[in-house]
Homo-oligomer: A and B are copies of this chain.
């Protein structure tokens, strides 16, 4: 991991510690709240309960109830309140218990946060963060298992990052908080316990820089968020067949590291896009469109996409497993873009 590096932009940190993704998010918020009093955290259960997923553990005690605030279950209202606070220059971190519930708040995200700077001719930036888990966990059924990237990335005006590792969680969330635009930080319930090395000291990863999480020459698995781990598993499976897959983690969907995408396309000429969400007008559709537009002649095969099955998420364990994009589907897609026989392994 980390092979491609950060193009020299991120601050190089000496000391690292192995912590969880959850702790990394917590560390990023504390890092930024320590340096800037205008940063505050607001959402359901974030204070007294330490967060529904314990991401804000200890923060109420540390910062008090002025800056760590439990809100009523009023997604549209508290998201809008945060946008309003940002209009006057504060830097709210608006936690959605999960992004599923943020569909209720989407009007404030799109019509207020995303469009504000433009329609005020630059007078009113919205320096805030929307964060929380997106996508499926385990058997949470149709209304609690939706990947929400498409809804946040379609409208210009919002940025979107999807950290996959603890280090990225810290660095990207910190960058999102410092950013002068509204940034959605989409996490994963199933990622919170993932452990990894994270720089101890101040750590910020610039938005818009993808990372090759695993180098390879034969086929590129481009992906983001939680699916990075599925891609890495698939790459390990392919390794056994002597196929070297490169795993490119976009990390940021807006801004999008187009150069990194074109680089990996040029390197392997074969691409699979893997994402957790539905296919129709998903993120992968845009990536395919971009690649065919800008690297049409570099492709040796159509870009294949692996997505959630185009159905609402079922509850039953077996159906859920079928519906989720899995290692097997990725491996088969990779074999297919390599014009190998499919369905053997």
Residues of A at under 8 Å CB distance from B?
A: 76, 100, 103-104, 106-107, 110-111, 114-115, 118-119, 141-143, 146, 149-151, 153-157, 254, 277-286, 288-289, 292-293, 296, 301-305, 310-312, 314-315
Contact = CB atoms under 8 A, between A and B. Distances in A.
Contact of A106 (B103, B155, B303): B103
15 contacts: A103-B106, A103-B110, A118-B311, A119-B315, A153-B281, A156-B278, A156-B310, A156-B311, A280-B286, A281-B285, A285-B285, A292-B292, A293-B303, A293-B304, A293-B305
A262 B296 CA distance: 19
B103 A154 contact: no
A143 B111 contact: yes
B118 A312 contact: yes
A115 B254 CA distance: 28
Contact of A150 (B115, B150, B292): B150
Contacts of A150: 150, 154, 281
A100 B110 CA distance: 10
A314 B141 CA distance: 40
A311 B156 CA distance: 6
A161 to B, nearest CB: 15
Contacts of A277: 154
Given A115-B312, A296-B302, 9 more contacts: A106-B107, A118-B312, A119-B312, A154-B278, A156-B310, A156-B311, A281-B281, A285-B288, A289-B289
A155 B278 contact: yes
Contacts of A303: 289, 292-293
Contacts of A292: 288, 292, 302-303
A118 B142 contact: yes
A314 B282 CA distance: 26
Contacts of A149: 281
A146 B45 CA distance: 34
